[in-house]
Every structure is written in structure tokens, then in C-alpha cells.
Chains A and B, each alone.
Chain A
Amino acid sequence: MKALVAVIVLTALALVGSRRVFVPGKSPFAVQSFFTGAEFIIIGVLLGREFLNVIDDATLDLLRPFVCVILGWVGFLFGLQFDRQTVNKLPSGHFAVSVAEGMITLAIVLPVAWYLLTRSTDAAPDVVAIAAVTLAASATCTGLTALTFIERFKRPAPLQVPLLLRFISSLDPAVGVIAAGVGLSLFAVHPFDAVSFPMTLQWLVISICLGFVTAWIFVSLTLTRTSQAELTVYLLGVIALAGGLAFALRLSALFVSFICGLVVANLTHVRSIRGRVMTIMAHGDRFLYFLLLVLAGAYWRLPDFPLLFAALVYVAVRMVGKVVGGFLSTRRLARHHAVPPLIGLGLVSQGGMGLAIIVELRFLVDLPLTEAVMSVAVLAIIINELLAPWLAIRTAARAGESIS
């Protein structure tokens, strides 16, 4: 009965979320800033093992194949956005700014996470490594939800900074997905040291190959005339194949399907059906996103004091990474445009991709350390999501955008 109630609640929440959130309301900013999606993680926490236990371990086990598909879906859709034509249309330098910002954040968070995890746990070095890489990879991701507040609470004005923030938020998760994919390929279950480096490197090659092969399958299926119904079947089939294969080999489903989506998006003859694929994916996108938020909450364990502290440290280090990354990456752009030095404060929202990376780690490496990492990261994401609207508005205001 519990599983049934859990599934009813999950479906209802995902449905309500997909209909209600991101829809401009009439309530004041302070109220709206609470509803960025983080509330669904909190609801998941309440329904999960730590509180009501409506979504218990049995339900989570039942949903494992679906989580696999959700992660594959998220990765594929993200990769699909990177088609050459769209990327070429981006304003000059924005792509480089986004990648640089992500990499700088990664470079700042990774050593700190690695150092702290090494000092505070006695887990095996490869587990520590993968946990640190995942935390850093998740930290690089920026969500778009906070940026909608700039649009909701502004007067019509030139949107130079919000636009730049939007570009960075759309593109920098790629750094996170690649970092997580590389990290999982190198470290997860395959002990990593200098001697075995070439051996572990093969898993990275396999990850990339899987992405290419599944993309090839999709492309070859869509070479001939394909109805929307057939396209849906092929799409679901390829996503399940890519995500499931990656997970079965203990590789990153997000990364493999990201590569798959990327390759599909950039093959000339498939570009004509890219729009149709996007339409299919748009039908399920929000629903699956909110399902992921609730599930992540359900997986969460109540942290003890050191973990609470660790979450605050993670939030702080990530914010430093974002600020430094934002500042350094936009210096060249700032010569010609009014870019505030603290633009990174507008990138605090961690978003769905950051969460997906953490959920994936929890799925692939089921160890006490990864459970702790998940607790820290989910808590940090909630804090970031609550702070993000305020900081985004403030960043835009400082840049001279009019805020009501």
C-alpha cells in the first residue's frame, strides 16, 4: 500500500510542479523566491526515509530503472542543445566565457573537496576521488530558475547581464557533465593509480564510444521517413539503451547520453528532425525534472552536525568559485560591455543538472561516503536555490538593470 501511496504522491507532485512552478504569479518576491523547485526536494525529504517513509527503500528500488531513463533523458536533451548552428549563433565569446567560468569553479571546488574528504574520512582513495570530482562537477552547474526572477521582477530594460547569465547557466553544466563522466570513467570501481592509468583510461574511451554508437543507432533509424510515434519509440529506446548500458557498466549515464545527444544534434541529416525530437522531449521534460527533485529528496539522509557544517562550507566554496570564475572569465568581455565584477553571484542556483550528477553518484556507488556526499550536496542545493533569486536580482540591479 505504501508503494502505491508513494507513486500517487510522486505523480501528483510532479504534475503540480510541472504546472505551477515557473509560472509568474502575483505573490511578492519573498514568497515566490521560495518556490524555485527546492520545495520539491524538501517535500521529497519529508516523504522519504528520514521522515514519513512513504517513499521507502522498496519504492526507490522499484523506480531504479525509471531513474536510469530520467538521467539518460536529461543528458540526451542537454547534449541535443549543442548543435553547431545554435552554438555559432551565440554572441561572440559567450561560449568561451561559460566554459571558462565552469572550469574555474571546478578548479576551485575540486581541490578543496578532495582535501576535506581525505582529511575527514577513511574511505578508499578512489572513492574519495570520485566523491570529490562529483561534488566539484555538480558545483560547476548553474540552474536557470533564479534567472526567471530577473525577468519577473524588472521593468523592461536592456538585458545585457541577464542574457549573459542565461548563456552561462545554459552552457556551464556541460563542464560538470563532462567532469562527472570523466571522473566516473576513471575512478568508479576501477582502482585508480599511476600504474593502472592506461587501463582506467579505457573506460573513458568506452563511455565516449557508447555515446557515439547509440547516436549512430538513432541516426540510422531516422534516416528514412519516420512518424512522430516511431520517433518516440526510437528516442525512448536509445535513451534507455544509452542510460542503461552506462549504468550497467558503472559509467555515467548523463555523460554517455550527453555525448549521444551531442552527436545526434550535429549530424547534418538529423538536424531536420531535431525540432521534432525536442517537441517530444518537451512533453516530459518538466514532469521528469520534478520527479527527479522529489526522488533526490527521498534519497537524502538527515545529516549530523559535521555534515551540516560541510554543506555550508560547500556552499561557500562554490560561491567563491562562481564569483572568481565569473570575474575572470568575463574580463575580456568587460572591455566592451558593462559586466559587474561580482557577476558570479548571479550564478548561485545549482539547478537540475547539479542534482542529477549527485543522484547519479548515489546510484552508481552505494557506499556510506557517497550517501554523506548526497546529504551534503542536496542540502547545499536547497540553500543555493533559496539564495539564488536574491543574488540574481541583486547582480542584475548592480549592473544597472531596473528592478521594481
Chain B
Amino acid sequence: MALATITRIRLWFEDRLGLDAVKEFLAHKSVPRHSATMWYYFGGITLFLFGIQVATGILLLLYYRPSPNEAYESVQFIMTQVDFGWLIRSVHSWAANLMILAAFIHMFSVVFLHAYRAPRELTWLTGIVLLGLALGFGFSGYLLPWNTISFFATKVGTDIAADVPLIGPALARFLRGGTDVSGGTLTRFFGFHVAVLPGITTLVLLLHLALVQKWNISIPPKVEEEYRRQGREVPRIPFVPDFILRELMAWYITLAILGVLAALFPWELGEKADPFAPAPAGIRPEWYFLAPFYTLKLIPSRVWFVEGEVLGVVCFGLLAATWACLPFWASRKDGTIRTRLVTGAGVLLASYLAVFSALGYWR
């Protein structure tokens, strides 16, 4: 009787949604399996951490109040009075950092496995946009607790934005909601963080996933070549459940790391921001902005006839644009890939980010 009811309900949904087609599709979907397969999981880990961000972010929204008089106190309330509030806030903060780290690893694995090559140029471009959005989430979310470090780091960050040629001052004013970082900036950043960025991210993320689905997971040229020489095809495993089970394992490991970090090193709240107090010594942004921040500090205040910071910002803009266009300059006219050039550029960029971030942190 019960079985018949369940079957009837299933058929009701089947008639309206056509779920059997999805089931059929998933039953036949497979992904390649080879020595570099583990790097595929970082895309899924980034997605998993984004999901955690959304869930914990919604929970924080229940208590957070975006005004200069209440923001700090509301976060303090979450951490001290709300059941598991400390855990939710700590998981949100750590997951944000791990998500950006996972996104960087995912990006570099795509570079070193040459997964950006045709026809996956748009997958790469949407991925770069998603990384930019993740950094935007980090920058806008950093100010929300309204503590001293976040206040002055936002001041420095928006000052850098003001150095963008032509539109810089207008951009800084737009970000700050005035001439300086104030309560207006807080509400504006809150709006970006919980409405604008999630909206755009969801759309770009869906496009990115659709493109991954359309073109499937790429096989590194070296692996492809090796199997071709052996006269074999690259082995494949069913997406459901084999790949999903592996991905789930990666997610659980990530969850364990996240739990340890959140429980043993809860994210500190610091002191409430005082806009009239002088900036404390050693103000620096989050780790993922340290490399450009430290580079800007090293550039002399004036280089020839250009202001140092303006020159730095222009150079970073050009570098980001060049990097975003990687699939286009990486392929030759005959369709082959300049693997050595790309690998070299990847090693150079990864080394620069690692070394300058470390220098920015320790100096």
C-alpha cells in the first residue's frame, strides 16, 4: 500500500519534472580518472565552502545589525550570547579564507593541467570572474564587524581604489558612500556582501557549472599523450556514485579542517573601530591581498613622472587582464598550447604571490 503511494507520488513528479531523464543522464555521465584526478576536487571543495558561507551567512544575518553603533555589539552578542553563535561566526570567517585558498589552488591546477584550452575558454573566464567575486566577498565582509583592524584596512583598501586612473576618485567615493570610510560605507558594504555579490555570484557560478558540464572535465595533454602512445583510452569512472563519493570524502576532510580551525582558533573580534583614533601600527589587509599591498609599499612614491601607487594599480590591472586572457595567448594559431610558457607564467605568478604575501605578513 505504502509502496504504491510512493510510486504514485514519484510518477506524479515524473510527469511534471521529467526526473527520469536526469537520472538517465547521470547514470551515463562519467569523468576521466588518472594520476592528476585529485586536483579536480578543489573546484568541488570551493563550491562546498561557498555553500557553507551561504548557510552560515544566513544564520549570522538573523542577529547582525549593519550600523556603526550596533555592528560591533551585534557581532559581540552573536559570539557571547547566541547558542553556537561563536561557532557560526568562526566557521563563516574561516570558510571564507579556505574558500579563497581552495579557489586559488583550483585556478593554479587548471593552469598547470592546461584545462583552460579550447573549448573551455569561457569556463576559465567565468572562473576568474568567480575568483574576483570571492575577493570582493572577502573585502566587503572584512569591514562588517566594524573593528579597528577592519576599519583601517578598508580605509587603506579604498585609498588604493582611488588610485585607479580616471575613475579612481569616483570609484573610491562610490565604495565609501562619501569622502571617507564611515557608517555609510558599512551599510554599503553590507549591501554588496549580502545582496549584490551573492546575486552575481549565483548567476556566474551556474554558468561556470553549466560550462563544466557541457565540456566535461579536461584531461591534461601529457596524460592524453601517454595513453595515446600506449594505444589505450583514458579510463573513466561513473560520475554517480564513484566521483561523487570521492568528492564527498574531500568535502568531509575539508569540514574536519574547518571544524578544527573554528573550534581551536575562533576568529577574534578585536576592538571596536574608532574613526577618530589614529590608525594603529601594522595595519594590513587579509592574506589574499598582501602581495599587491606589499608591492605597492615597495614602489617609490614617484616613478619618473607617474605617482608610484597609480603605476602599481595600473600594473596590477594589466597583470589581471593578461591573466584573464590566458587561454587566448596560450594557444598557437594551429591550436596547440604553449605549455612551457603557461607553466612558467604560472610558476612565476604563484611564487610572486607566495613570497610577497609572506614578506607582507612578516615585515
B and A form one assembly: no
Binding site for A on B (CB under 8 A): none
